[in-house]
Chain A
Amino acid sequence: MLGFLQRRRAEHPRIAQIRQLVLFATLRPKELRIIDGLLYERRYLKGEIVFDQGEEGQALYVIVSGRVLICRPGDPVAEVLAEIPAGSLFGELALLWGAPRVAQVRAAEDCVLAALSRADFESLIDTHAAIASKIAMQLARDLGQKLGARYLAMESRPL
């Protein structure tokens, strides 16, 4: 409906970049433009903390470039639990049920992150249910993969 009012544009390089991110891989160009309007781009230096364990989360992050480390804070050094590459996402629990951050995340190298705030995601559910459901589906897949990987790791651990 009212499709004749929608503008036709050539795909912007930034839209092409967002399409590469796993969370938005299933979105159509028009939907990607809407998402582009909601994402905050943040730049972090190597070693900089993105968020701390136990902090109240307000956003989900997708790694546009670079890598981040998932850490458990320790004295004197933090224990690295995992390394997440470009294109992946983290901090999704804050978006889904406002849970406190379960680990610390810091930049493994200089990186660019795209942040989607919980408030914007919630308004997306009201205004663009199709986009929100596609993102929610990708989130569920990502969580499923993470759970599967954890299960396999537990199974392979010697008793």
Chain B
Amino acid sequence: MRLSYLASGPLVWLVTIAVTTLLLVASAKALWLVVPFLLAIILYYLMFPVVRRLVLAGVSRETAAALVAAGVALLAVGIMIPLLPWLAAQAITGEATFNRYLEGGRVLVDRTLATLESQFAFLRRMNFHAEMGKMATEFGETTVQRKLGEALLAAATWLPTVLLAPFFAFFLLRDGGVFAKLLASGVPNAFFERTIYMFDRVDSTARSYFQGLLKLTVVDTVCLGIGLLVVGVPNALVLALIAAVFQWIPVVGSVVGCVLVVLVAATEFPTNPWIVYATVGVFAFARLLDNFFFIPLTVGRSIRMHPMPTVLMVFIGGAVAGVPGLVLALPLAGVVSAVVGTVGGIIQDPRLRARHAFAKSLQRQRISADFQL
């Protein structure tokens, strides 16, 4: 019965895609604001269950939000303090470490190509090993290093604004309900119930998406971690966590995560390529589990959109706003779809519009009651 509230159909799809694309283009121009806000939303949904537990225990929402935000800040400081010496050491030896792993990857590619060439005569005739090896070296020495430099520079630029994320998250936790009431107060009476339904839908879409994403990260970390431990890759759980966080970026993330772990495995076991192949196998198996079990159980149902516009939105997001666009495309499309559906429902309901017009005429009569003598 609830569905009758929402407009649906190809026009709603088109408007949803158009509005989401426009928002993604705008977000690409204001990444300094979008990135901390996105992190704030993730933090908000991470902290929200704890705040709810405290409210349930009798603490006011304001105090609960302050307590949880302070707790998370202390936890972050507590984690960072022991890590600082290690991070400082990494900053000094960062380039050397990076080059070491890159070299490990190059050696792996080199050996794989040599093995392939020894197995297949047509590859030998093409001089496959030498040609591909040259391309891989060029790619590693120019493209990767340039892109990494740009990414590090961008990260350094965003770092101060990223610090805004905990503040945004705190105010969302404390005053989220107030914002909703403020917005609803500006809505005409005729559309009031539709608006509160829309708020509920937007909140449930965003909540189920981001909480699903966090659950998926935990499940992926555990599965990948166990797989990498069995294979014998060092720091398996840390690598699994990094790869699972990369999964937040649709399409590209899983490839980047896999390459990262493969580079580590190739560097740590330069003489045993089978460990590297087993690592790739673990990744492929984890992806299968993700696609068939974990994603449908976590983020799968949150967007409530047809798979076709959903996939289209991911590619549009990547094209217009890069990596942040890929991350934002799905939750943004889900939220925009709820808003467009509600507004479409109002536009398609002549009775609601007539009621609004009637309320306005009553208001006009009231205002102009003393105009006539």
A residues lining the B interface (CB < 8 Å): 1-3, 5-7, 30, 33, 37-38, 40-52, 55-59, 98, 100, 115, 117, 119, 126-128
Contacts and interface: CB of A to CB of B under 8 A. Distances in A.
Interface stretch (B14-22, B50-58, B280-288): B50-58
Interface in B35-63: 52, 54-61, 63
Query: Interface SS of chain A: helix, strand, loop or mixed?
Result: mixed
Given A2-B58, A2-B59, A40-B184, A45 B192 contact: no
Contacts of A37: 61, 177-178
Interface string B330-341: 000000000000
Contacts of B200: 117, 119
A41 B200 CA distance: 18
Given A47-B362, A49-B358, A40 B63 contact: no
A40 B196 contact: yes
B355 interface: yes
Given A48-B359, A98-B1, A128 B59 contact: no
A59 B61 contact: no
Given A6-B63, A119-B200, 4 more contacts: A40-B181, A48-B358, A58-B197, A115-B192
13 contacts: A5-B63, A6-B60, A7-B63, A37-B61, A37-B177, A37-B178, A40-B185, A41-B185, A45-B359, A49-B359, A55-B193, A58-B194, A119-B196
Contacts of B178: 37
Nearest to A91: B193
Chain B interface residue bracket vs A: 35 or more
Interface string B169-190: 0000000011001001100011
B363 interface: yes
B147 interface: no
Rank and list the top 4 A-B pairs by shortest CB-CB distance, nearest first: A119-B200, A58-B193, A117-B196, A45-B362
B351 interface: yes
B2 interface: yes
Interface string B195-215: 011011000000000000000
Contacts, number: 82
A128 B199 CA distance: 21
A136 B162 CA distance: 44
A52 B58 contact: no
A128 B60 contact: no
Nearest to B201: A119
A118 B252 CA distance: 40
Nearest to B200: A119
Nearest to A50: B189
Nearest to A57: B193
B363 A45 contact: yes
A59 B57 contact: no
B168 interface: no
Contacts of A44: 189
Contacts of B58: 1-3, 5-6, 30
A127 B55 contact: yes
B59 A48 contact: no
B193 A59 contact: yes
A98 B3 CA distance: 12
A56 B345 CA distance: 12
A128 B67 CA distance: 19
A127 B193 CA distance: 23
A46 B193 contact: no
Given A5-B60, A48-B362, A42 B189 contact: yes
A1 B61 contact: no
B366 interface: yes
B355 A49 contact: yes
B206 to A, nearest CB: 14
Contacts of A117: 196, 200
A111 B253 CA distance: 55
B193 to A, nearest CB: 4
A111 B183 CA distance: 21
B119 interface: no
